[in-house]
Structure 1
Amino acid sequence: MERRGRMDCPALPPGWKKEEVIRKSGLSAGKSDVYYFSPSGKKFRSKPQLARYLGNTVDLSSFDFRTGKMMPSKLQKNKQRLRNDSLNQNKVSSIFKQPVTKVTNHPSNKVRSDPQRVTEQPRQLFWEKRLQGLSASDVSEQIIKSMELPKGLQGIGPGNNDETLLSAVASALHTSSAPITGQLSAAVEKNPAVWLNTSQPLCKAFIVTDEDISGDNSTSLPENYEAFRYHGNEGPK
């Protein structure tokens, strides 16, 4: 290697020297290595080593390690890079949740909530179809003959039959305290999927009469048929 000797480096504090060594052999022949020496003789091979040693005493952001000079253009590039990094950081931070202060003119007002609406569970349309083909049996596993529905109960909806309707009415009587009225909307017959009231069985609106309550149990619902709870505001007639 050919050493060009150590020279003063004006860009660094007094006493610092710069040395350039030219390689004479190998694939990198003709290239040079640059080293810096502190006033105490300590050798530095790279800019990061130099920056760690000097710390905050010297700003090396625009210092060119190979030439040993401060480069204003390099300082401008560093400032532009920092500015771009700041803009990118602002763009990224905007996608995260930011703290928001809620301001109201009526601090004493309380939000009202309907507990009945919160606890209400969704209901599946035409769930009664799952009851098709099911029947009750006694202890001897004999199928119990299902009772006949009154003529006033007429099922509606796709694939509905008397057995399914009877199961749906019995389910409504045991799971709901509201009056069993059937489907009051006339539009439900045209499009049950849109106008269906899921809290009522799939049958047309009906009225419970005195004859239905006192009639023969073999042709109508049993005596607790009046559990239809007076059929809303209609009441037995």
Structure 2
Amino acid sequence: MQNMNISIERKRTDCSALPKGWQREEVLRKTGLSAGKVDVFYYSPTGKKFRSKPELVRYLGDSMDLSCFDFQQGQINTMLLCKTKKARAQFDYRGVRSDSSLVPPIRQTASIFKQPVTVYKTQESKVKTDLKQGTQEKPKQLFWEKRLENLTACDANGVIGTTTLPKYIKPLGPFTSDATTIQSLATALHVSSQPITGQTGSKQTIMENPGVFLNPEQPLIAAVTITKDDVRRQEERVNRARQRLRAALVAA
């Protein structure tokens, strides 16, 4: 409980270093043994009061970086950022390897006694992968269409007729047949949301090292270029198919 004889002065202003609506309050003690001391508090737009920086970090840590925020002054202090980077650099072992088991612990005693500690493992350590927010997409495997080789579509009357590729569409990939190319192209047309351009890399590099130069998001075909004449011919084929369908419906 505060002493009733202590006189205080309050001053509340908007804090520009925090999101809109946040306010900073200074409480100056004018009398008593702690006269002249200034207590700093922060208020959220909903009126919640915060007395320390850790409380602010827990509340705003997901929405903004407070590592260089000076709680007492209510400003962004770049010196705090430099100190934070320096402290991280002292304990950053990523340049060697991220496996923490390679770094022996240090005895936290006098500096002359800081010697590595012998580590005895009772079980094998398991490396945990970093968890990412949001939906996780599985990476697409190269040449997964090869699993569909020697499979054909059929109905009650038997095998459905085969499909042939236009002359300007060339298969690209080691041991890639026409059937695999058609399956790859059909899948890309139905699943992919990006334009179908084919493999933009050179044929030589893709054949030598497909795991590096082959784009799994594109079908297993060489790069293609669609001209206006190609579009016009395709439109004519579509119109002829519609006319045949219309005639069949009228005859029925």
Both proteins in one fold, TM over 0.5: no
- TM-score, normalised by the number of residues in structure 2: 0.39
- TM-score, normalised by the number of residues in structure 1: 0.41
Greater length-normalized contact order (CA 8 Å, ≥ 6 residues apart): 1
Which is greater in Rg? Answer: 1
